[in-house]
Structure 1
Amino acid sequence: MAVELNHIIVSAKDAKASATFLADILGLEVGDKWGPFYPLVVSNGVTLDYIDTTADIQAQHCAFLVTDEEFDASFERIKAAGIPYWADPHKETPNEINHLFGGRGVYFDDPDGHVMEIITAPYA
């Protein structure tokens, strides 16, 4: 059997708002609430299951491989919303994108401090 990532639980102070934030950037829709989760399914079937928490949140990093057209649309949404962005995960290069591995990439934070990344070429 091939091993595939099926889902990841993403803690948030407001799960619905955080799921909606990322869905809006990526041009996706949040699924119906399932138990305590607000699911966001990406095209390869992996689900980000957002859950409310009152505990301190440990920031996670999620990278999304997108087409050039999806990158352009998502990046425009980031800029239009006034969301800070960086070319690197350490936030040393603000207001720029990177061009690693012949593609383009950008990092931005979600409302809970999770570091999100969109890339057009895999880093492997």
Structure 2
Amino acid sequence: MPSPDFLLRALPHMQDEKVAFVQTPQAFPSARGLVAEGASESQRIFYELVLPGRNHFNAVFCVGTNVIFRRTALREIVGMHTASNSEDIWTSIELHKRGWRSFFVPEVLARGLAPDSLLPHFKQQ
């Protein structure tokens, strides 16, 4: 569920016409149980360490949710990559290969539900 200020916080980074997408973290504040809490914690490493580092080198990956795209950028690559379960990463790579930029906003602007058992967790991943 996006926060009411999601677009107010993310959209300004699209002022640069070379930015194809703006990514924000996934967060699971209501995670309960071993699987849900583990999934939530593993996400923190990615969003607190990996993506901020990638942001420095214009190498942010789209992670499937909590992201906004520039329509013209997606049109240039004929939409999201669909030949893999890693469609978000492949889409990011295609956009970067064509010179588009990416941006990561290190603020939790949307909150989700973490899987509470192994089968849904594996399906999500």
For normalisation by structure 1, the TM-score amounts to 0.23
Q: Which has the higher contact order (CA 8 A, sep 6+)?
A: 2
Structure with the larger strand share: 1
Relative to the length of structure 2, the TM-score reads 0.23
Higher helix share: 2
